[in-house]
Chain A
Amino acid sequence: MPDPLLEIKNLAIHFATETGTIEAVRGISFSMARGETLAIVGESGSGKSVTGLALTRLLPEPPAVYQSGEILLDGKDVLKMEPRELRTIRGKKIAYIFQEPSTSLNPVFTIRNQIAEAIKLHRPEVREIDAEVIKYLDLVGITDPAKRLHDYPHQLSGGMQQRVMIAMALSCGPELLVADEPTTALDVTIQAQIIDQLRELKQRVRMAIILITHNFGIIGGLADRVAVMFRGKIVEYGETRTVLAKPQHPYTQALIQCIPQPGQKRERLATIDHAALDAMG
């Protein structure tokens, strides 16, 4: 892959707790091209969110310890950066949206203030801040954005809040958007809208996306590649279509079987046989 945007080599992250060390990420490697969308799929505790937060070193240290590996962003190792340099890549190069839009927005500020704060921080040259805020609210599909400027987060629905989060993330012009379970807290219909929105944005704004999710069902039309994480390791990695059609690893197979199919009558959802997976190593 020529000139990758992001390259992760043998990354291992441990958490030092009172009861012992937890190996959250155990030596993962992958790389991403500019504009590519990667889905990281796995169950709770598989290390997918930790990986996402580690990209700009957002994990609290301690307890988190970066045991080994490199996170190369445009060829520079994030793990060797000074705090000042880290702040310049956060938001500017890698932006985040999180699972709970209702608590990810500061309850005491209007949405205009929150997006303006991001713009002022990374693009101090922008003069017409209101116009810029409106532009991004419009971009993420908020109707009549000028009227929404002075709303507080609690006045918006969950889906709208998540759109505001996306607008805030996009307003700094990042090269990579990390969407950590962006639809988990939302209603199913809203989930589809947000995924559609991300798909549309991906085409309009050339930007790489890492979509972190436990739900194979939502990645279909969005992700170019999939990395399946299980217990801190990537157990399967490849083109989305290939992985969905011919999953190699039994864990991937089990996850894909968990996607409910319309019209298909099934009494019970498949369960994952951890003992069998353990036996595989």
Chain B
Amino acid sequence: MPESLRHILEHWLTQDALVVGGFALVFFLLRAGARNERWQRAGARLKRDRTGLIAFAIVLLYLTIGALEVFQIPTASGTRSILDLFLGGISPEKSYSAPLADTLLGSARHAKLNGHHLLGTDVLGKDVFAQMLKACRTALIIGGLTSAIYVPLGALLGVLAGYFRRWVDDMIQYVYSTLASIPEILLLVAIISATTPRWGRSLGTMAIALGITGWVGLCRLIRGETMRQAERPYVTAARALGQTHAKIVVRHLLPNVMHLVLISAVLGFSNIVLAEAILSYLGVGAPVGTASWGIMIDAGRTELGRDPLVWWNISAATAALFGLVLSLNLLGDSLRRAFDPKQT
């Protein structure tokens, strides 16, 4: 099957590799950080923080579900994701059906359903619970891709601005002040609208748009912290040894601001997931047919006006979104507390 092999390879290169790479990067960063005193103390504190651990477990659960949907394996009926295999027993219906109902919604003839659906089905007869789980992939890919763009950009520019100051700082500040002065949603919609005719609507273009607009806050934070770190004697000591500026930035300053990068990346992840939902709701987000919480909420616009009311689609998406965003924020707060030197 060379055709399906090619498909799998393509899929691997565009999505699977990204997810594996993302997890490897996080693992590598944590391992590098674990050798650092500040990270060790934070880790020990985090172990005693029950809220943080629960939040971390929930985030991991979401990521795992998303990863299961990303990875595809060949089956007799074409390639399917691992998650599809788990949900394989669920048969599609013709249209809406209420959670755990026996009959199609509003059907005069009380048409029998093919099976039971925990959270009902949507307008196309797809199982809402399965859609809710599949949407984790969209969140994971958007969150991961966007973070992969904005975190390195923001961290590096922030360190450069904070270390070199003067004209470098002026230029970077000029760029981010300009970006920050434009309302974010307007800018996002503008970038996506401008790129859609050329590259089509895809998760990739949305991630690029979110990445371009998203680095300002991180850059500001890292710039300030770098200015503080650059005043410390170890930077002068490195210069007194004859170290180059590049080495001082990479070897001395970046590792000392990395904990802030981690905290903001976790807190930022929830903003990205929310932004994806908002953009999808505005109709400029995930491509049609993609499972996305934003698209599910968007569908609620018509579904909530119907009689009988279709509430399960929007409720499921909102609950899933709420769970992820809340867990990410709790985890981010726990990390911040754990890294705070003033905590005992």
Chains A and B belong together in one complex: yes
A residues near B (Cβ < 8 Å) are: 56, 58, 86-92, 95-96, 98-100, 103-110, 117-118, 121-122, 152, 154, 165, 168, 172
Closest to A55 in B: B240
- Total cross-chain contacts (CB, 8 A): 69
- Contact A121/B36 with A58-B236, A103-B233, A106-B252 known, Cβ cut-off 8 Å: no
Roughly how many angstroms separate A108 CA and B251 CA in the complex, as a whole number? 10
- Which B215-271 residues sit within 8 Å CB-CB of chain A? 232-234, 236-244, 251-252, 255-256
Roughly how many angstroms separate A89 CA and B241 CA in the complex, as a whole number? 9
Taking a contact as CB atoms under 8 Å apart, the answer to whether B237 and A121 are in contact is no
In the bound complex, residues from chain A placing their C-beta under 8 Å from that of B35 are 108, 110
Closest to B41 in A: A154
In the bound complex, residues from chain A placing their C-beta under 8 Å from that of B240 are 56, 58, 90-91, 95-96
Closest to B245 in A: A83
Taking a contact as CB atoms under 8 Å apart, the answer to whether A91 and B241 are in contact is yes
- Contact A118/B241 with A98-B236, A104-B233, A108-B256 known, Cβ cut-off 8 Å: yes
- Which B254-302 residues sit within 8 Å CB-CB of chain A? 255-256
Taking a contact as CB atoms under 8 Å apart, the answer to whether B241 and A106 are in contact is no
Interface flag for B37 (CB, 8 Å) = yes
Interface flag for B336 (CB, 8 Å) = no
Closest to A110 in B: B35
**Minimum C-beta distance from A27 to chain B (A):** 25
14 additional A-B residue pairs with CB within 8 Å, beyond A103-B232, A117-B251: A58-B239, A86-B242, A90-B242, A92-B242, A96-B237, A106-B252, A106-B255, A107-B37, A107-B234, A108-B38, A108-B256, A122-B241, A154-B37, A168-B241
Q: Which of A58, A87, A103 contacts B234 (CB 8 A)?
A: A103
Roughly how many angstroms separate A110 CA and B239 CA in the complex, as a whole number? 18
Taking a contact as CB atoms under 8 Å apart, the answer to whether A104 and B239 are in contact is no
Closest to B254 in A: A108
**Minimum C-beta distance from A38 to chain B (A):** 18
- Contact A165/B237 with A106-B256, A107-B256 known, Cβ cut-off 8 Å: yes
In the bound complex, residues from chain A placing their C-beta under 8 Å from that of B251 are 117
Most A-side CB within 10 Å, residue of B233, B234, B242, B244: B242
Q: Could you mark each residue 310-337 of chain B with 1 if its beta carbon is under 8 Å from any beta carbon of chain A, else 0?
A: 0000000000000000000000000000
In the bound complex, residues from chain A placing their C-beta under 8 Å from that of B236 are 58, 98, 104
Main secondary structure of the interface of B (DSSP, over half): helix
In the bound complex, residues from chain B placing their C-beta under 8 Å from that of A89 are 242
**Minimum C-beta distance from A157 to chain B (A):** 15
Roughly how many angstroms separate A117 CA and B234 CA in the complex, as a whole number? 13
- 28 residue pairs bridging A and B, Cβ less than 8 Å apart: A56-B240, A58-B236, A86-B242, A87-B242, A87-B243, A87-B244, A90-B240, A90-B241, A91-B240, A91-B242, A92-B242, A96-B237, A96-B240, A98-B233, A100-B233, A104-B234, A104-B236, A104-B237, A106-B234, A106-B238, A106-B255, A107-B234, A107-B256, A117-B241, A122-B241, A152-B36, A165-B237, A168-B241
Roughly how many angstroms separate A275 CA and B232 CA in the complex, as a whole number? 35
The 5 closest A-B pairs by CB, nearest first: A90-B242, A91-B241, A91-B242, A96-B240, A87-B242
In the bound complex, residues from chain B placing their C-beta under 8 Å from that of A152 are 36-37
**Minimum C-beta distance from B245 to chain A (A):** 9
In the bound complex, residues from chain A placing their C-beta under 8 Å from that of B237 are 96, 98, 104-105, 165
In the bound complex, residues from chain A placing their C-beta under 8 Å from that of B242 are 86-92, 121-122
Roughly how many angstroms separate A172 CA and B241 CA in the complex, as a whole number? 9
Taking a contact as CB atoms under 8 Å apart, the answer to whether A121 and B256 are in contact is no
- Contact A105/B244 with A58-B239, A152-B37 known, Cβ cut-off 8 Å: no
In the bound complex, residues from chain B placing their C-beta under 8 Å from that of A58 are 236, 239-240
**Minimum C-beta distance from A214 to chain B (A):** 18
Roughly how many angstroms separate A51 CA and B241 CA in the complex, as a whole number? 17
Roughly how many angstroms separate A17 CA and B260 CA in the complex, as a whole number? 32
Roughly how many angstroms separate A172 CA and B242 CA in the complex, as a whole number? 11
In the bound complex, residues from chain B placing their C-beta under 8 Å from that of A105 are 234, 237
**Minimum C-beta distance from A11 to chain B (A):** 19
**Minimum C-beta distance from B341 to chain A (A):** 11
In the bound complex, residues from chain A placing their C-beta under 8 Å from that of B255 are 106, 108-109
Closest to A57 in B: B239
Closest to B236 in A: A58
**Minimum C-beta distance from A57 to chain B (A):** 10
Q: Could you mark each residue 36-55 of chain B with 1 if its beta carbon is under 8 Å from any beta carbon of chain A, else 0?
A: 11100000000000000000
**Minimum C-beta distance from A93 to chain B (A):** 9
Taking a contact as CB atoms under 8 Å apart, the answer to whether B241 and A107 are in contact is no
Roughly how many angstroms separate A165 CA and B233 CA in the complex, as a whole number? 12
**Minimum C-beta distance from B199 to chain A (A):** 41
